[in-house]
A and B are shown apart, each in its own frame.
Chain A
Amino acid sequence: MSELELHRATLANGLRVLVVPDPATPVVGVSVHVDVGFRSEPEGRTGFAHLFEHLMFQGSESLEKLEHFRQVQGAGGVFNGSTHQDYTDYFEVLPGAALERALFLEADRLRAPMLTEENLRNQVDVVKEEIRLNVLNRPYGGFPWILLPPVLYDTFPNAHNGYGDFTELEQATLEDAASFFDTFYAPGNALVTVHGDLGEHGVEGTHALIEKHFGDIPARPVPVRPSFAEPIPGSERRQAVADAHAPLPALAVGYRVPDPTTALDEYLAHALLASVLGDGEAARLQRRLVHADGLVTDINASNGLMGGPLDARDPDTFTITAVHPGSVDPDRVLGAVDEELDKLAAEGPSIDELSRQSARWAAALHHEDDRVMYRMLGLGARELLYGRAEIATELPARIAAITPEQVRRSAAALRSQGRAVLLVEPTTETEDEA
């Protein structure tokens, strides 16, 4: 199954193409990854990259408003889009018979999206509802992906809220949208991925279809990608936020990690460290903080801000999050985390511990690969971010090759730097049972 063939091409307008056939499935996925995420949005326009993603579903030259959704679903397919730190993706998964239609839909909006004042106002309202749903009206909204970065980072790109501030969303103009599109949605700044059942088209035919539909989008200058690097903090930074809906306190710890582009194996050792700490009943933090000491209700560790590794370029964030009873002082939780990290930094994990975690990783990756959608998005994101879709297929072997010494060094690296600590404090009366 790991024997996937990756067929690359670059069109004359600069658009990158990745075609990965899989004859075993009757469905096909088409995705467009654009090299812009919320780290690139302008100051004063927080949330704009995400708002713009919504606008890309609002019609294009050949498709009236609502037609994009109707054409995908009317062909028996599903669709979505999402905005990340460094990229934005758009995709559909459909029965193989709809491959050309999907390419047409993606090409039409990459060439000539219909940006109107009415659609902009409508989608500002929809995005505000999305934010009310996921952040404002619930406990632990935006925890930790919105709340932790401003504690760990100093510069606007890394620190600001990618969902956006309501007043800034409301101030967004059509002019902003036009400028954003012309700057960042140049064909040379995007990647088209096709994965799954290519039907009678085959690899060659699929490349020809991509050329047919995307080839005449005029080339535009590709924006120079700025560096988002900033110094690693030398000490702990701490901040508390109030949460009116939360019944229990929570905390998040953020650390800086190696650059996945230049130090991939060190970066992956941090990912495996996260598993040793948090994944499964035998994981270090589960045993110590949940069961032995009874300090936390739940605890998680992840190399990555948005829930998983390899989703962003440098700088990326290692996160530990926990929900704990009000009777437990957060410093006790942090103290226990530090002790567990110190143990790992001194002795490293055991070989058995690592091989069990690697087996779980391999299984989880296979599990994800069993769906055309996830495999396609994984291939596309790694190709766009790191120029190597192969990383996605190599992961089980690379994780399995990580040594206890590498994980030990990762733990030591976390302990030798500063970090961010975010405390979520309930403002309602909690009903702690004794």
Chain B
Amino acid sequence: MSAPTTHRSAEEIGRTAQGPRPLPALGATREVPLPEVFTETLPTGLRVLAVHRPGVPMVEARLRIPFAGPGSTADPAFAAQAELLSSTLLTGTATRDRVGIDDELAAVGADLGVAVDPERLLVHGSGLAAGLPTVLEVLAEVLTAATYPEQELLRERERLVERISVARSQPRTVAREALQRKRFGDHPIALEMPTGEAVAAVTPEQVRAVHAAGVMPRGSTLVIVGDIDPEAAIATVAKALGEWAADGTARELSPPPLPGAGALELVNRPGSVQSQLRLTGPALSRDAEGYAAFQLANLVFGGYFSSRWMENVREDKGYTYGAHSGAEFVPGGAVLGVETDVASDVTAAALLETRYELGRMVAVPPTAEEIDAARRYAIGSLLISLDSQGGLASTLAALDAAGLGVDWLRERPVRLEAVTPEQVAEAAFEFFAPERFTGVIVGDADTIGPRLRALGGIA
């Protein structure tokens, strides 16, 4: 007889006298009407969307200014100037310095942030609802009278160079940059982060000139969501931002070419213990006819945890912590990304399984059961994502940029319900066939290269 133990065995723990129990049914789903969106275009051309959504005494704001560079190919100097503009927009006006601007916002519990990418300049913020007029006043001041003080700009320039070097040491950044170059070539959309050298060469005059030429209300959209009266909020915006005017229209990014199929590029990152697999192909934009079917096909493949690919490479093989596929929207269309990080010694095996699951989407299309689970997830997670002021504000801003309104959201569950298995099979056939993809693999080439090349399809 063995010594007595103080605990049960694993087998004993997993078993009760009663045995397995039946899963309770789901209750009745509650209909959730989306709030009304009030929209107005000011005489200056700025579109304003305002939504009453109480819950917490807060307000969220998103100002999206289309901010493409002047050329049709990636322009390193413009990218650097735009990045520095974004880091210094809030550092000075005729009447306030950097600390003064922040103090003004903090007094009403507000924060403003600025971000830029090849498509747009985004000023985002939130604060106590009662502080909305103050937030708008500060916003108006920086839009119309940002001075980009030399001392602030030179310091931020120095920091930006340091931050860029930190960002580029992240494998995910290395992979993202390689993927963007691979799929978009020299189109401006590929250049998401400027080089340190280009940033170091930017002058205050250049940043002021980029502001004057690009920060324009016509073509821009301000979304306000929160514990507010929408009509009063629009009036407050009209008053506060009325002076922000310009002759031109904010510059939209041209549609990039969609990625063609091709061999995967192996990018060497010596010393890596993990590899980044980044596959890509064309996808559908939200307003396309078959988008809902495409969305369901994507969920079944790799769009959520209970997907074929994740269950295979994580829960069966243990190759990765996470694997995800999804659409990324670009001007005029969308691209599909298939992305996972795996240990160096299983990189070839993970690629093989990825290609197998892509092929299986074509050969063994999603079953009715798989589609129903994906559909319920799509509808439920939409409900959850819109259940906060910030989530709703960001979603409305992104949809508006794509020319879509709240009705598109409202009708989404109905469109998802209407999708048939045949339509999902068609989407799987069209978008998930392995030979439609291109992409990159970042890792220690000496370790992962030989086996990957032996599998084929590696440049």
A-to-B contact residues, CB < 8 Å: 1, 24-27, 60-63, 65-66, 69-71, 73-79, 93-101, 104, 108, 111-116, 121-130, 132-133, 136-139, 174-175, 177-179, 181-183, 197, 199-200, 216, 244-248, 280-282, 287, 290-291, 294, 297-298, 323, 325, 355-357, 359-360, 362-363, 366-367, 369-372, 430-431, 433
**Using a Cβ cutoff of 8 Å, how many contacts connect chains A and B?**
269
Check if A122 sits within 8 Å of B380, measured CB to CB: no
Bound CA–CA A216/B99 (angstroms): 59
Given A66-B306, A181-B13 in contact, is the A363-B26 Cβ separation under 8 Å? no
Q: Are A363 and B128 closer than 8 Å at their CB atoms? A: yes
Contacts A104-B23, A294-B158 given; indicate if A280 touches B170 (C-beta within 8 A).
no
The size bracket of the interface on B is 35 or more
Contact status of A359 and B380, CB under 8 A, knowing A66-B315, A97-B28: no
Smallest CB separation, A282 vs chain B (Å): 5
Quick one: which of B6, B15, B274 contacts A112, CB cutoff 8 A? B15
Q: Is the CB of B55 within 8 A of A24?
A: yes
Query: Which B residues lie within 8 Å of A369 (CB)?
Result: 56
Q: For B200, what are the chain A residues with a Cβ–Cβ distance below 8 Å?
A: 433
Check: B343 CB closer than 8 A to any chain A CB: yes
B residues apposed to A, CB below 8 Å:
5-10, 12-16, 18-30, 32, 54-58, 90, 98-99, 101-103, 106-111, 126-128, 152, 155, 158-159, 161-163, 165-166, 168-172, 196, 200, 271-274, 304-306, 311, 314-322, 341-343, 372-373, 376-377, 379-381, 383-384, 387-391
* A27-B384, A356-B103 given; A96·B376 CB < 8 A: no
Pairs A–B under 8 Å by Cβ, sample size 5: A77-B384, A177-B10, A355-B107, A363-B126, A366-B57
A410 to chain B, nearest CB (A): 20
- Find the A residue at minimum CB distance from B107: A356
* B373 pairs with A372, CB closer than 8 A: no
B441 to chain A, nearest CB (A): 14
Q: How far is the CB of A262 from chain B (nearest CB, A)?
A: 30
Cross-chain contact of A73 among B158, B304, B341, B391 (Cβ < 8 A) = B304
* Minimum Cβ distance to chain A for residue B148 (Å): 15
CA distance A345 to B409 in the complex (A): 54
Q: Give min CB distance, A120 to chain B, whole Å.
A: 9
On whether the beta carbons of B23 and A76 are closer than 8 Å, the reply is no
Q: Is the CB of B381 within 8 A of A78?
A: yes
Nearest CB in chain A: distance from B411 CB, A: 17
Asked if A74 and B381 sit within 8 Å, CB to CB, the answer is no
Q: Using Cβ atoms and an 8 Å threshold, which residues of chain B touch A112?
A: 13-16
- Establish whether residues A129 and B29, one from each chain, have CB atoms under 8 Å apart when the complex forms: no
Q: How far is the CB of B194 from chain A (nearest CB, A)?
A: 13
Contact of A121 with B318 at beta-carbon distance under 8 Å, contacts A61-B15, A62-B20, A282-B103 already known: yes
Whether the pair A370, B166 counts as a contact (CB closer than 8 A) is no
Q: List residues of chain A with CB within 8 A of the CB of B170.
A: 138-139
Question: Complex: how many Å from CA A116 to CA B10?
Answer: 7
For residue B27, which residue of chain A has the nearest CB?
A97
CB distance from A209 to the nearest CB of B (A): 9
